[in-house]
Structure formats: C-alpha cells, structure tokens
Amino acid sequence: MRALDDFITDVSISNPLPSDHALVESRLSISKPKPGEIMIKIRKYRDMVLNAFRQDILLSPLYSDPTSDLYTLIEMYESVLSAILDKNAPEKSCKL
C-alpha cells in the first residue's frame, strides 16, 4: 500500500432522497497549509500634523514655482507630494 492510499478515511455514501445524486463524505488526513506572510506598506495618516503638511506644500515648488507644461507638472506633483508624504507620514512595512 502506498502512503497516499490512506489519506482518505471514513468514507460514507448517503442517498436520502429518490435521486440519481448521492452525498459522499470522508475524512482527509492532510494538514492545513500554513498561511503565507504578506508584506504591505502603510502610512499613519491620522498621526500627521496637518499644519506641517500644509506648510510643506506651500513651501514646495508646486506652490512657489509651478510649471505650465502639463506632463512636467504631473511628474512634479508625483515626486513632490511623495516626498512630502514620506516626511510627514513615512511608509512602514507590516506583515499580515
């Protein structure tokens, strides 16, 4: 007998209703896999000091030296706001 031949035990078949279907129940001798760890990044926005965040935006080139080119402005928003967020609400890694 192979090791895999005995991982199904206590097989029972029931057919309580007149039907061509049957209920098959059994026990499986297998272990539940351990859940994998997931790493996520979070920011604690609630802990931010809003006045400092506002001040950083007002002192940034977004406010003091905005560009008229749309694509450059989009890149500026992404880089400047990311840097301001990193300063005021840094990312932290957490395991789930």
Question: Where are the domains positioned within the chain?
Answer: 39-95
pLDDT tens string 59-91: 999 989 989 999 999 999 999 999 999 999 999
- Residue 59 DSSP one-character state: T
The average pLDDT across 15-37 equals 84
Number of H-type helices and E-type strands within the chain:
3, 4
- Please check the confidence at residue 50 and state whether its pLDDT lies above 90: yes
User: Is-contact 94 38, C-beta < 8 A?
Assistant: no
